[in-house]
Amino acid sequence: MKRLAIVGMPNTGKSTFFNRLTGSSSRVGNWPGVTVDLLSAHIVLGGTAVEVVDLPGIYDLHGFSEDEQVVRNFLENNPVDLIGVILNATQLDHQLPLALQFCKLGVQPHILINMIDEADQLGIRIDADALSADLGCPVHLLSARHGTGFNEVRESLAGRVNQAQHRPLDEMRDCLHADDEIVQHSDALIGRCVTAPSVLVRKMTERIDHVLLHPVLGLPLFFAMMFLVFQAVYTLGGPLQDVVAYLLGNFKGWALEPLAATLPAALYGFLIEGLYDGIGTVASFVPVIILFFFLMAIVEDSGYLARAAFLTDSLMARMGLDGRGFVMILMGFGCNVPALMGTRVMRSRALRWLSMLVIPFSLCSARLQVFVFITTALFTAQQAPLVLFFMYLASFASAFLTATLFGRRFKSDEPFVLELPPYRTPVLKQVLLRGWHEISHFLRRASTFIITGVVLVWILTHYPEGSTPGGAGTWASLMGDWMKPVLDPIGISAAMSVILLFGFVAKEIVIGAMVAMTGLEGAALNGYLTTQMDTTQAISFMLFILLYTPCLSTLATQFTESRSWKFTGISLAWSLSLAWVVSFIFYQGARALGY
């Protein structure tokens, strides 16, 4: 099988092009370092099977950062028949040298100059034919977001895929030392082949940035924007959740219960009251998760989240981090695992480790599901968005506190360079792909963890034989009694403490565990929660869930990325300690004030 590698600097639209070429749904965004792993897909080009590989963003082939080393090692050790180098049409003056490095190696890449629509708006004109003649390789102008020029690129790739031959990079390392020569060549090409106005004016972007990047109002506006997102999630997601719950309940009553009526009582309880009700309750929240990611994708695709990194850079610098750390925290809203992998773009080991300490405090989609469930059950429609917003503020505050406390231990002087993209009208297809990527990742994890967790919880709450399901004498109640001295001071009951153990494996299990433990669903389960906790206890419980430990997948990724059991152990011990202290202060303080 032939192999096509897609390379380019961060924020050039590599993953957008990859998605359009392959029909895939890899991670797409408007900030550096989005592609954190090797994504691949199989397609047919010119009648030939081709594996397309989307490599992490790189600035050059010297391999200073870990991501750049990943790219170089891949190209050195894997046969690649075609290389597509994606360049940003509005930044050719400093991106063209990367393409020239590949040309100097003799691999004759396809140079794909992306975002040509934005270049046109700025009055930039690029003579692709002149560039191609000078470099001796195909040069194409395109807009991966809108599809302009894409068909010509595909035809060009298909025409060369069978004739292309690749020389391994490890045979040509000495060719990369003439950096000054490459820069001079690039400047000469820009002078001959690119026409640009003396001053590039982005009038609309500058007007918007004048408000959104205001040194005083910028951050409050960002958090206000996030609050509006949460408000919309509750306003629009509530009815969708009710519809799904109604359909699942009717399917249970019309089909499952009659079919399972002849089964033994224990098996009936396990399949219907345990497995189906647990999975069904979780499934009813999927529309809310989808809506959240859809709205976040709109904010991200517009270019606004890159501004958030810029706004927070000076604040993060005081804590030993930079704007990239804030970007990774935002990435952790989807899942902590890819956010941890995203730290590879940082060249400083100390900066990476400090970032990996704070990322697990990001309120990921699994925690979001738990919080939406609890706030819907125990708080009014007016209170729920405020409580959820408070949880996000607590997430940021915990990350900032961690960075401040550990910043002296992990010092770094690595500079932070961020290129702000222009504001863009979100493209519906890209927004849908972005949302689908997140929700499919959530469902893949949930389908494994939730089923396993529900089965285990059902066993713990129904055995040993002869005990009352969910009552005293079960293995679950014994575990709850064992943890009572530790969790009583923070307002968590013995029953809810059992659920925390399964949340350690994966937060997706928490709601399913409640269903399996109680045998209740819907309004009955909401009513049960009101017997286990009041609003003060609920917030204390959510704070503990937010902070007490990341899931096993996150811990495994921390170890894989840090290669240190000691670091992973410190991270786990710190999160557990912080969770208990924060919940204790909140719970005891609220009780002292009469709440």
Alpha carbon distance 138, 102 (integer Å)? 13
DSSP letter assigned to residue 129: H
Per the CB < 8 A criterion, the answer to whether 110 and 157 are in contact is: yes
Q: Comparing C-alpha atoms, which of 335, 362, 365, 383 is closest to residue 234? A: 383
Would you kindly state where each structural domain of the chain is located, as residue ranges? 2-195, 219-414+427-592
Which pair of tokens denotes residue 502? 């399964």
pLDDT tens digits for range 148-181: 999 999 999 988 887 766 655 555 555 555 677 8
pLDDT tens digits for range 56-98: 888 888 766 666 777 887 888 888 888 999 999 988 988 999 9
Per the CB < 8 A criterion, the answer to whether 302 and 335 are in contact is: no
Which pair of tokens denotes residue 308? 């958030």
449: pLDDT confidence band, cut at 50, 70 and 90?
low
Assess if CATH 3.40.50.300 describes domain 2-195: yes
Alpha carbon distance 111, 310 (integer Å)? 30
pLDDT tens digits for range 286-342: 777 778 778 877 887 788 877 877 887 777 778 888 777 777 787 787 778 777 877
Which pair of tokens denotes residue 460? 């713990």
Say which range, 118-122, 150-154, 535-539, has the weakest mean pLDDT: 118-122
For the stretch 126-142, what's the b/e string if a residue is b when 16 or more beta carbons lie within 10 angstroms of its beta carbon?
A: bbbeebeebbebbbbbb
pLDDT tens digits for range 101-111: 888 877 788 99
Indicate the pairing of strand 39-45 with strand 48-54: antiparallel
Determine the Cα angle at 183 with ends 182 and 185, to 5°: 65
Q: How many CB atoms lie within 10 A of CB 436?
A: 15
| DSSP labels, 236-294 | HHHHHHHHHHHHHHHHIIIIIHHHHTTS-HHHHIIIIIIIIHHHHHHHTTHHHHHHHHH
